[in-house]
Every structure is written in C-alpha cells, then in structure tokens.
Structure 1
Amino acid sequence: MMEGVSEINEDLLIDFRDVAFARGGRNLVGPVNWQVELDERWVIIGPNGAGKTTLIRMAAAEEFPSSGEAYLMGEKLGKTDMRDLRSMIGVSSAALAGRIPDEETVADLVISAGYAILGRWREEYTELDLDQAFEVLERVGAYHLADRTWGTLSEGERKRVLVARALMTNPELLLLDEPSAGMDLGGREDLVGYLGDLAMDADAPAIVMITHHVEEIPDGFTHALLLDEGEVVAQGLINTVLTSENLTKAFHQPIQVDRIGDRYFARRVRSGGAHRR
C-alpha cells in the first residue's frame, strides 16, 4: 500500500475514521470512529442535540464531514459521485416527509424513489414499477393506502409509507430517522414489530435507526451507538451499550434500564438529575 493512502475495507457499508462535523464554529459531531457491516442492525440513541441526525446525514451522503475520512460502500465521500452513493441508500426521515406534496398519491411516492425524484411529473411508470411498489407497501402493511394521497394519511400511515419508499430501490443500507416519532402506542408497536421482522430477515439491507427511546428498539437489532453532545458515550453490541450506567451518563440523570424479553425499557429512578456541563 502506498504511504499516505488509507486501506479500504469493502466489507464495510459505513466506515467513519475520526469523522467530525462542525458548523458556525461549533463542533456538532465527533470525532467518531464507526463501522457498519452488511448483516448489522444499529440503533443510534441519545438526547436532543446529541448529533444523531447530523451523523446519519453523513451516512446518507447528504453532508460532508469537516474532518476525518468517511467511506460509504467502499467509496470515499468527496471523491465519488454522491448521486451514485445515494442510489444505494434508503432514507426515511421527517425532513423528507416535510417536502412531500399533499396531493401526491402513495403509489407515486413510493415508485418515484426509483427515479430519485420527489413528486411525479411526466414520468411513465411500468408494470414492473407498480408491482414492486405494491410489494413493498404490502411488506410494511400499507398496501391498502396505495391510492390515497399523502395529505390524507395519519402520522402512523405516513411512517409506514416512508419506510416503503426507502425500500423501493432495494438499498444496501437503510437509514431510519426516528421512524416511530409522533405515533400512538398501537401504531408504534405495529411498526416496531415490522422493523423487528425486517431486522431478522437475512436478505434485508443493513439498518441504522435513530431513536430517543429504548422502548422503540425492535427485536433483532444487534448494535448500538450512544451519543451525547456530539461525543460517543459507548458503542458496540447492543446489550453492552444499553446499560443503566451508560444511559445515566448520556442523559445526565439516573436512568434504570431493564430488558423484558427482547425489548428494552428505561425510567428515571430518583429525583434530582445532574445538570449539563
């Protein structure tokens, strides 16, 4: 290997090496060392302002790091066509939801992911497009919504449709930014159940999910990254990261974490939490 040239591990879908992101003179994330392999399912958890969304935007090839080296699918950010990388990554996020026209039909919204656009204009979709869209909608329990418009959907229905859109292109990497946010208990549990099934599917893409709440972590997730104020508190196998000690440190108050079956639950154990520095 030539001196000064980093060795690329092609088995890694995400390979962040001392990656940091700064804006307005303030460091928002990092430095972070983080690697994600094909068969791994990661949850990123931490309080508001921890840097979770910034980190996942870099993983979605939507932001460049301010320093360090970031590789996606073996390609270095800044040295490759970002559009090619994005075609291999499925994303579901509130930012995307806010850009969808109310009159867009669910079927068109899902199909248009394959054309890397948002909002159908003059595109002519094929029977293959329609069949694939109906298949992914059925997988997430949203087949019955195909003819509905975005503006008529409930929050829970929107979350399912966004996951379907993210899966439409058969991505290698699936990024979910708070997929259960705003859902009622029944809707959340339905979605958590589906994501658990997806996580257990050997043919599913690698998954990275952001959440604030350990209760929203589906069965089948293998790893966790715990952030606070842009810094890594802990990362690794999920059962070694989601501990009372680690969450107490990240959330600056005494947190008790319990595992019941295959799900995690957290609660504050006494009054008088610590103040942030």
Structure 2
Amino acid sequence: MVLQIENLFLRRGEKWILRDMNWKIKKGENWILFGLNGAGKTSLLNLLNAYTFPTKGNVNVLGMEFGKTYLAERLRKQIGFVSSSLQQKFHQGDSAYEVVLSGAFASIGLYETPTDEIRNKAKTLLHNLGCIDYANRNYETLSQGEKQRVLIARALMTDPPLLILDEPTYGLDFIAREKLLDSIEEIVKSPNAPTLIYVTHHVEEILPVFNKTLLLKEGQVFASGDTNELITSECLSQFFELPVTVIWNNNRPLLSKAHLVEK
C-alpha cells in the first residue's frame, strides 16, 4: 500500500478543510486527483508531504504512519513533489543542472558536493526529459514548460516510490502542454516507475496511464475509482452540478457544456 487515508478530517480555525476522507492507493496504480479551485487539493498535498497533520483520522504514506514517529524529513525524501510554488524558491543564478542536482539532497540550493554518480544521473534525467540543451542556463531564464521539465528531473533524482505532480501544465500553451504530457507518460511506462498522483482541474490532461481517479469536492471525496467509470457525462454533470458532455477520443477525454434541448 502506497497511501492509506482513513476517516481524515483537517480543520483550520473554525473551518473544516477536509472532511471524512478515505483514500487508498496500491502500488502499480496511477491516480488523477481532480477538483476545482478551493476543493482542498493543496491542503491534501501539504498533508501528504507532512507539512501539516490531520485534526482527526489516520494517514499512512509509504509505510509511515502519521503520529507514530517523526517522519517529515524522511518522508519527503521518498516523495518527488513538483509544484509551480517551488519555482520561486530556487536561488537566482542557479543553473538548470544545479537545480536538478539539488534534488539528490532534497534541498533548495546546492550545498553539498555531488558525486560523479549523482552528476551522471542528473545528466541522464536532463537528457531523458529533453532538458539537456539548456542544462547550463540560469533556471530563472527558462520558459514555464522548461522549468517544469527541470523540476520533474529534480524530483526523480532520488528514485522516489511516489511522484506527485501538482498542476504541472499550468501556464503552458497547447504544444508545450502536450510535450510535457508525453514526457510524463514515458515516466509512467519506464521500468521501476514511481506511483504517480497527477493533480489537475482540466479533464483533457487525463492520460490513458492514469487508471484511477479521485474527485474532490468541497473538502470531501465525491467519488473515487476507475477513471473510465468516473470521467463520464453523467458523473461529471453531478460533480459540477452542471450538464456537461464528456467525449473520449484516442483514449483522452474532452469536456464541454451540454446543450439542453427545449421541450
């Protein structure tokens, strides 16, 4: 079991951010975490990375149970986490190569001397993710798509058993988005691939490799299960409380507002 959440509640002040949440992820599954803005996705990700802890309930991530041991630093080294919020934290002047190298030490900035093995691994990841041509450029000068590729390479430096991609295509145009999605699909299909949680509120980003989906609404699990059973016109119309149509084409879903027929 990669992840097990039971009867989870999370409160901030007087407000319940997450309520009565249950979620299990087995090794070999790759999940879409789908929810609109304000659904509680960020709070849930902060919890999975042990930046926050539940008010009530049980959480076990990669065999580590919250509340039983001091696990924050140990857990984060086993989770590859990619979020646009990380982009602003790296030091000015760091190259893309240095950013990737820092992933081996789970640090923002490079404070330790990488071994030849670490350097070779970083170069391999940069090559595999199509970043090698701008490896020596300052990270801050890269485009949004280039930055995201570098962050994914950084997250893979420790061969994490769990990789979380938090809206990785944010701010990308169509071509850059599809190229990044192609790279993500290759990661999932690679030998010894990590279990992947892909966070989005765009249905069209759901790739065939994501066989499971959790729909999060107003801090609660609306539904979870097989992607092809949840990403349907009927289910998403109930989820959005709006008539929508889902069309599957080339194993990818497309979403549009349904046209009501006047009687």
What TM-score bracket applies, with the shorter chain setting the length? Answer: over 0.9
2:136 aligned with 1:186: no
User: CA 1:220–1:130 in 2, change beyond 3 Å: closer, same or farther?
Assistant: same
**Aligned counterpart in structure 1 of residue 87 of structure 2, from 76, 89, 97:** 97
List runs of 5+ in structure 1 lacking aligned partners: 1-11, 272-277
List runs of 5+ in structure 2 lacking aligned partners: none
Q: Is the 8 A contact 1:195 1:218 kept in 2?
A: no
For residue 219 of structure 1, report the CA deviation from its aligned partner. Answer: 2.5
**Aligned counterpart in structure 2 of residue 171 of structure 1, from 156, 160, 175:** 160
Question: Paired residue for 1:113?
Answer: 103
| Whole-angstrom CA distance in 2 between matches of 1:211 and 1:94 | 13
Secondary structure of residue in 2 paired with 1:170: coil
TM-score (structure 2 length as normaliser): 0.94
| Whole-angstrom CA distance in 2 between matches of 1:102 and 1:252 | 45
Cα-to-partner distance string for 1:64-121 (whole Å, 9 max, x where unaligned): 1111000011111122221111111100012212212232111111111111210124
Secondary structure of residue in 1 paired with 2:81: strand
AA partner of residue 16 (structure 1): I
AA partner of residue 190 (structure 1): K
2:75 aligned with 1:85: yes
Give identity over the alignment, percent.
36
**Aligned counterpart in structure 2 of residue 142 of structure 1, from 117, 128, 131:** 131
| Whole-angstrom CA distance in 2 between matches of 1:116 and 1:199 | 22
Cα-to-partner distance string for 1:10-36 (whole Å, 9 max, x where unaligned): xx1110001121112111112111011
TM-score (structure 1 length as normaliser): 0.90
2:30 aligned with 1:41: yes
**Aligned counterpart in structure 2 of residue 196 of structure 1, from 185, 194, 217:** 185
Q: Is the 8 A contact 2:49 2:72 kept in 1?
A: no
For residue 202 of structure 1, report the CA deviation from its aligned partner. Answer: 4.5
| Whole-angstrom CA distance in 2 between matches of 1:40 and 1:161 | 24
Question: Paired residue for 1:7?
Answer: none
AA partner of residue 56 (structure 2): S
Superposed, 1:5-44 pairs within 5 Å as 12-44=1-33
| Whole-angstrom CA distance in 2 between matches of 1:163 and 1:265 | 26
AA partner of residue 130 (structure 1): R
**Aligned counterpart in structure 2 of residue 251 of structure 1, from 221, 228, 240:** 240
Paired positions, count: 259
AA partner of residue 170 (structure 1): D
Cα-to-partner distance string for 1:27-73 (whole Å, 9 max, x where unaligned): 11121110111111000111111111211222222221111000011
2:16 aligned with 1:63: no
Secondary structure of residue in 2 paired with 1:47: coil
Cα-to-partner distance string for 1:204-224 (whole Å, 9 max, x where unaligned): 000001001011122211100
| Whole-angstrom CA distance in 2 between matches of 1:229 and 1:27 | 10
Question: Paired residue for 1:50?
Answer: 39
Q: CA RMSD for the aligned pairs?
A: 1.4
